[in-house]
Amino acid sequence: MEDKLHVLDHPLLQHKLTILRDKNTGVKEFREIVSEVAMLECYEATRDLPLEDVEVETPLAKATFKSLAGKKLAIVPILRAGLGMVDGILQLIPSAKVGHIGLYRDPETHAPVEYYCKMPPDISEREVIVLDPMLATGGSASAAITFIKGYGCKNIKLMNILAAPQGIECIRRDHPDVDIYVAAVDEKLNDHAYIVPGLGDAGDRIFGTK
């Protein structure tokens, strides 16, 4: 079976990820780098976008070139931390629509609890990229993807910055059709289901809430 896991280990991504991991990196830099990493990952995650031929007149000649075939895209950040990835992607694809899904992990059970959802009306016709910096147990991303599939979406990708092996297994099991894009896969989860070595609590570090 085609491997749906794409580990994007470009040197620029690895360098930026190391800055994110450093506990001494402050809120401003952390937020900026999350956005940059999302932009770099987006470059790879959109590699299969279809192209069409268009005729263009350069200052020297008329010729046929490639242009995006107008495939409709939506990005869906999982609140809160996924919001940090939105701007980087919109810089590359300014016409993408943005849906939002609010989920938090119950601190006791680690199970995802949904508290907000707002999707573009034509979401079922769009290719969707779900955004969340962290794929830990995979519960939040899996629930978000199930929810988005409920709207009739058929073409869904998941973009994370860091993943744990358990999260990847969860998505592979629950959503074998979904391509996963990550900058790194870490060793394990700790007893609180945090990724180790990881980068800590992504939402708190993006929004300065700790």
Indicate the residue among 3 and 116 with the shorter CB distance to ligand PRP.
116
d(CA 12, CA 16): 6
Supply the minimum distance, in Å, between the C-beta of residue 169 and ligand PRP: 11
From 137, 158, 159, 168, residue interacting with ligand PRP (rule: CB under 6 A): 137
When the beta carbons of 68 and 193 are compared against ligand PRP, the nearer one is 193
Q: Supply 74's token pair.
A: 């939506």
Which residue number, 25 or 142, has a Cβ lying nearer to ligand PRP?
142
Asked whether 86 and 74 are in contact (CB, 8 A), the reply is no
| Cα gap 11→106, rounded to integer Å | 35
Segment near ligand PRP (CB under 6 A); pick from 36-44, 90-98, 172-180, 198-206: 198-206
Using CB under 6 A as the binding rule, whether residue 162 contacts ligand PRP is answered as no
| Helix (H) or strand (E) run with residue 148 in it | helix 139-149
Task: Report the distance separating Cα 186 and Cα 20, nearest Å.
Answer: 14
In the annotation, is 174 catalytic?
no
Encoded one letter per residue, x for contact with ligand PRP by CB under 6 A and - for no contact, window 91-130 reads: -------------xx----x-x------------------
Using CB under 6 A as the binding criterion, the count of chain residues that bind ligand PRP stands at 23
Catalytic status, residue 87? no
Annotation marks residue 105 as catalytic: yes
Q: Is the dihedral of CA 44, 46, 48, 50 positive or negative?
A: negative
Catalytic residue from among 21, 80, 87, 105:
105
- Residue 163, phi then psi, degrees to nearest 5: -135, 155
